[in-house]
Structure 1
Amino acid sequence: MTALSPSPEIAAPARRELPPSMVERMTLIMDAFAGRSTRLTLEDVARCTHLPRSTAHRILDQLVRLNWLEHTSFGYRLGQRALGLGGRDGSHGEIREAAAPLLHELQIKTGMVVHLAVLDGAQVFYLDKVGGRFATSVPSRVGGRAPAHCTALGKAILAWLEPEQVESRISGFISRMTNRTIGEMGTLHQELHRIRQRHGLAFERGECFPNIACVAGAIRGYEGPVASISLVGDTRTPLEKVAPLVIDAARQASLSLFPDLATPRRARLMMAVPDQTWSSATMNRLLETGQNGDWM
């Protein structure tokens, strides 16, 4: 009798690796955003995570609905919920890091006090202060606040917001700090219009604190202003001489935080971020000084 040869074992089909869990997929997507300034398209996210485009799109929509991400005309970015995990410092650390060398350079060049601030409701929140000999006489501190409508820092940011946004933030909080403070919304809107006409240069002389004068420019991102930089002196300081330095520092900080702003398409959508330092002659043509030396 012929022995039957044993039949070869049938190899079991390779076990198919299960796709990552929803939590793992969300983590892959969130890890793709390196920081506050990162902007990614749907295609960017799918490529970075190796997730199917449809899967990435579905999860991105969920993350946007839950405020972990925001969806803008430039793509996706970290939302307020993600930025808030690290507290106030978590959402502003990149701004401070980008601006720090520029603030020190401004202080060395001018000998004046330099401020960095963000808008927080109807107030500005001071992120940094670099002082010279005049620093102790300037009533500001890191972590402190001041009304946005009567500071150059605040007006520089407000000038690039929609009028409705300005109304929702400031209306109800506008009040006079000194006899030079803007006290009505109509007057504030006129001032913000003049700031835009000056390519974003904001001035104040004795509006927030008597005998203190400031010039400021906004650090702007893809969707609008994110912070502002100011130089501070007394009311006799010829701020027009240092104004170009402020605008140039704000521009450099913008490009450090948002490198893609240097591309022509982004620059157009940004509404004309100054692309070079202005000469004194150009600044003199841009600035309009009243007979009393006011910047109103």
Structure 2
Amino acid sequence: MDVSARRELPPSMVERITLIMDVFEGCTVRRSLEDVARTTHLPRSTAHRILDQLVRLRWLEHNGFGYGLGRRALGLGGGDGSQGRIREAAATRLHHLQMRTGMVVHLAVLDGAEVHYLDKAGGRFASSVPSRVGGRAPAHCTALGKAMLAWLEPEEVEQRAGNSINRQTQRTISDIGTLHQELHRIRQRRGLAFERGECFPGIACVATAIRGPEGPVAAISLVGDADMPLEKVAPLVADGARQVSADLFPSPDGPDRTPRRAAAVTPEETWSPQTMDRLLAVGQYGDWQ
């Protein structure tokens, strides 16, 4: 057998499975059989056979919207399962936000002084944003992190972030006093957190925390370039986070109960134009520092 013939041999089964699993870069991603075959360059029949096997083994799931990551894949590193529950509750909202805005959407939880990305959706634009599912970033310079830190007691904020405040860019908050001031402004805006070029130059985000009875459990953000008027999409992020909170904590003692002192301001159920005008008046030019 000559060299050219050997090069035309299909990859091993492990390589084929890896090619297919790499197509699903987030738990909200849905792909058709045609998408998988085109992206992996596998024959359609081969891709279909492997997809069916992965569905039977629960690495993938299949419904009317296509194939997506299954319980076994999402359970890797899932700890007590709470992260999987958050992903499941947020999946539809993230998809709707991405489809409605065309922007990159993040779902993250707070882990010490960092945010841990649970999901990312954004189609072909996602590669332009330097984040990844399973990756981490400093909480004090991301909208996601600040949205969650804002609902913690000041002592806990200092315990988590006080010794980890380092500059990522020229716009990064660099001391705990300034961070507390920023978190106060976020609470005044009923939980809306913004950042423009604080974590990565040229990247801007707006985020809101998903809150439970004991404080923030996660946060959702929309990401665009530094010049994008994020104020226009801020109400969509706020409503999405509120809806996920209601799904996760449906009882009357759920997300609107505020046992922590920092959470004295409770988000309104709806975001009218008048409310947004009041909340965003202090930041109409995009300078949230």
Q: Same fold (TM over 0.5)?
A: yes
Change (3 A) 1:104 1:85: closer
Instruction: Tell me, yes or no, if structure 1 residue 248 matches structure 2 residue 263.
Output: no
Give the equivalent residue in structure 1 for 2:287: 294
Cα deviation for residue 262 of structure 1 reads 6.8
Number of aligned positions between the proteins: 211
Larger Rg: 1
Match of 1:284 among 277, 285, 288: 277
5+ residue gaps, structure 2: 1-74
Give the equivalent residue in structure 2 for 1:112: 103
5+ residue gaps, structure 1: 1-83
- Taking the aligned partners of 2:275 and 2:284, their CA distance within structure 1 comes to 20
Cα deviation for residue 272 of structure 1 reads 5.2
Give the root-mean-square deviation of aligned CA atoms.
2.2
Q: Normalised by the size of structure 1, how large is the TM-score? A: 0.67
Match of 1:167 among 158, 161, 167: 158
- Taking the aligned partners of 1:212 and 1:256, their CA distance within structure 2 comes to 30
1:247-294 alpha-carbon deviations (Å, 9 max, x no partner) = 10000000100001477xx73546554343312332121114458531
Match of 1:267 among 253, 256, 262: 256
Match of 2:204 among 197, 213, 220: 213
Q: 2:105–2:120: 8 Å Cα contact kept in structure 1?
A: yes
Cα deviation for residue 194 of structure 1 reads 0.2
Instruction: Tell me, yes or no, if structure 1 residue 228 matches structure 2 residue 215.
Output: no
Q: 1:222–1:261: 8 Å Cα contact kept in structure 2?
A: no
Q: 1:156–1:195: 8 Å Cα contact kept in structure 2?
A: yes
1:1-35 alpha-carbon deviations (Å, 9 max, x no partner) = xxxxxxxxxxxxxxxxxxxxxxxxxxxxxxxxxxx
Match of 1:156 among 143, 147, 155: 147
Give the equivalent residue in structure 2 for 1:121: 112
Change (3 A) 1:223 1:207: same
Q: 2:192–2:208: 8 Å Cα contact kept in structure 1?
A: yes
Change (3 A) 1:212 1:169: same
Change (3 A) 1:179 1:105: same
Q: Normalised by the size of structure 2, how large is the TM-score? A: 0.69
Matches within 5 A, 1:48-67: none
Counterpart AA for 2:102: G
